[in-house]
Structure 1
Amino acid sequence: MRLDRLGRFMVSIEVLTEENEDFRKFIGQFIIVRAEMLYAQDAIAYVAHSLMFDKTEHGDRIPEYNLIASKKDDGTVEFSVERKTRPDFYADNF
């Protein structure tokens, strides 16, 4: 397997500690290759591989993504990713 769909994203500690089966299923679609606790943001920054990310070439800067949560009519939450057009500051160091 080639890890050619890398992306960076952050998840708040609040979201990670909630009992949310929909989020657990969603995060299961990622192969985490790096994680770092960001105490100032009260979040964990991840680098991961996922088929939801755009393809990357060896040596490319790893793009950043927002994780999007949308509540459906039946009460479940649907998650998706959106590539950021302007990376966050932390990304230069992560």
Structure 2
Amino acid sequence: MLLQNNIIPIKIACRPSMKRERQCEFSSGITHMIEELTRLKKLLEELEEPLDRFDEKLFTEIVQAISISRRDEMTVTLIGGLRFTEML
């Protein structure tokens, strides 16, 4: 019993720091997402006019992933976590 009583306060004491740690991780993730979205906005604003040909450098800077599902859907993920899904 004494051992259990000694362990319980330790577990309870750890919970607030775990909560703070999760909040910090969440805030850090949001901050990173905002930075990436700001970077995406800046890259797009630097375009003087609509593109008339494929720009490989711009593509590699803003596209993180492309996936195609079994339902013939293509999902493009951009920096900042933006996702666009289109039917093929």
TM-score by length of 2: 0.25
Q: Which has the higher contact order (CA 8 A, sep 6+)?
A: 1
Computing the radius of gyration over CA atoms, which structure comes out larger, 1 or 2?
Answer: 2
Instruction: Return the structure number with greater helix share.
Output: 2
Instruction: Return the structure number with greater strand share.
Output: 1
